[in-house]
Structure 1
């Protein structure tokens, strides 16, 4: 009986030691790989920004992406509360998503305002600008909001007139492939360029159920809904209305248009 107890104790001790050694190796690997993971995440973000701005090619190397981004993209910090540019933080280092979780840098949203279902909105965010001949050519805005199963993270690009859409794309989401996941479909994304955000100063862009009637007076502001994915369509519509509205970048867009940002 005694030998059986010793054998069991020895087995448990060996198992525990193996678990501890494995945990040390896993933790060490995670720490060692964290800088690489952060660099890859930054690279993916830069790739997405360039793509939505219509710059570069899909097969560019990491070196080419970094070079083109540094040459063509200007990142600026925006105070969403005032709708103006800010120097409070370094735009190259500031993380709006992290700020949205910090009570000192964000605020909770009442239900009636939280149409994008993000719960908290950061006070400061980053916009990305492409200039041509000293003038704004494209403004790229980060957008996010809940669809059916997940929060969708993406960018909307607006031309220099601050009204015409240049593109819309999402770089991260967990929507159902073939349904809500069709937000990634080039055909659906291809409907966005040329659409108009505002009508007589009021936000008018809309994802509708079904297909857009080309003869409709509202056609310039409308995009087809995602077939079989009404809730994802509604989620994208809501997140765009939030970030383009008064609680998002709406005041900033108005100030930028008036030359007061």
Structure 2
């Protein structure tokens, strides 16, 4: 320390020494803040996720105790996407689907020709959320979905009726699309037009998609079509691709088949 005070304050050595010292102090402070705030960030992320799940299941709203309602009404499970069965060795608490998708040991690389959603690598397991009524029967299924739009991966939840194909709601909560265009996927008015739409045709093939323009009373197969986003063709295609992938055989289709057949999901 004495050496520092004896330095020529106009010299290069002094300036460099002070700069390095300031950088070290700032680094220590930033690291300490990150460690201190990590639990709070994790807690906030959990609360935000729960809030979005309740919103798409129509259980949210002003004044709602998110954690209380979630714990009382929602059953969170982890599903093996290949078999469509619950993963007995994984608990929903602590499972992070995004992190699992980054690890080659817990994920699968998707060939481009089989990847209409632009997922690239999919976790082998996924979270699912079952809303039960007072009798313990499934009232709503909430499933996480994501796919690439024009600029970004778009993350959301979709709520289905117990038949595993009728849409009750959709909620995109994270995206980086163009404001006023593709970002309209977060607009509640557009999300409302999904209600009542059907995912599958009579042969069990995914037919639900976003079209160019609006769906009218004279639109063929209107139950499988959603109004397009004006000026956002690539975002619309991304949403359609997301639905095609996640409700196909490499997504939630095996799980939904098990639910509707009564193989799993009993109260």
1:78 aligns to what SS in structure 2? strand
How far residue 77 of structure 1 moved from its aligned partner, in angstroms, is 1.2
2:219 match: 216
Displacement of 1:7: 2.1
Give the structure-1-normalised TM-score. Answer: 0.94
Structure 2 match to 1:253: 256
Deviations along 1:180-229, one digit per CA (max 9) or x if unpaired, are 00001111011011111112022211110111122234111110110000
Q: Do residues 32 (structure 1) and 36 (structure 2) align?
A: yes
One of 242, 245, 256 as aligned partner of 2:245: 242
Aligned length: 256
**Pairwise CA RMSD of aligned residues?**
1.4
Alignment of 1:26-175 (within 5 A): 26-57=30-61, 59-60=62-63, 64-132=65-133, 133-175=135-177
Where does the alignment leave 5 or more consecutive residues of structure 2 unmatched?
Answer: 1-6
Question: Which consecutive segments of 4 or more residues in structure 1 shift more than 4 A?
Answer: 3-6
Mapped to 1, the partners of 2:117 and 2:198 lie a distance apart of 21
Q: Give 1:5 shift.
A: 8.9
**5+ long unaligned stretches in structure 1:** none
1:203 counterpart SS class: coil
Distance 1:241 1:153 in 2: 15
TM-score, reference length from structure 2: 0.92
Q: 1:6 Cα deviation (Å)?
A: 6.7
In the aligned structure 2, how far is the partner of 1:160 from the partner of 1:14? 66
Kept after mapping to 1: 8 A contact 2:162/2:260: no
- Determine if the alignment matches structure 1 residue 20 to structure 2 residue 24: yes
Deviation per CA, 1:74-122: give whole Å up to 9, x if none.
0011100111112121122211111111111111111111111111111
Distance 1:5 1:28, change over 3 A: closer
Q: d(CA) in 2 for partners of 1:37 and 1:6?
A: 44
